[in-house]
Amino acid sequence: MIKQEQIIENIKLLAASEPDIDVLWLYGSRARSQAHNNSDYDLAIAFKNYIKDPVERRLNPELLALKWQKQLGITLSIIDINQASLPMAYTIVQDNVTLYCANDYRRMVEEQRIMSKWELDHLHHRKYYA
């Protein structure tokens, strides 16, 4: 069985070989060191290009996940961080494990956008209306 460190390195190499990936985050149990042997790898991506067609946009991370699963021989899930719900995106940012970054500015903008939305849309309403 391949060790997690080697799998992570292989994921980084795959991300670097994909021209449409700006940022790749690991989140979930693997990011929090709470994984067991059968845990999957949860990945979030900020893609460089916005896909206008909603079906293609939804399928893009799913197809990439299938491709990487075949290449790596592991179970993983990939989401587009710009399509994720706010609580999911916030969890990704809070787990704070960036595996690959081709554009530091984009990473900072995505993380700041998510944190700002969390503060304005979630914490504000919780404070005043909960």
**What domains are defined for the chain?**
4-129 (3.30.460.10)
- Rounded to an integer, what distance in angstroms lies between the CA atom of residue 62 and that of residue 127? 36
pLDDT band of residue 33 (cuts 50, 70, 90) is very high
pTM: 0.91
Determine the pLDDT at residue 37. Answer: 87
Query: In terms of Cα–Cα distance, which of 98, 89, 75, 77 is closest to 118?
Result: 89
**Model confidence at 1: pLDDT above 60:** no
Average per-residue pLDDT for the chain: 94
Query: In terms of Cα–Cα distance, which of 97, 122, 121 is closest to 24?
Result: 97
> What is the CB-side half-sphere exposure of residue 15 using CA atoms within 13 A?
25
Determine the pLDDT at residue 130. Answer: 63
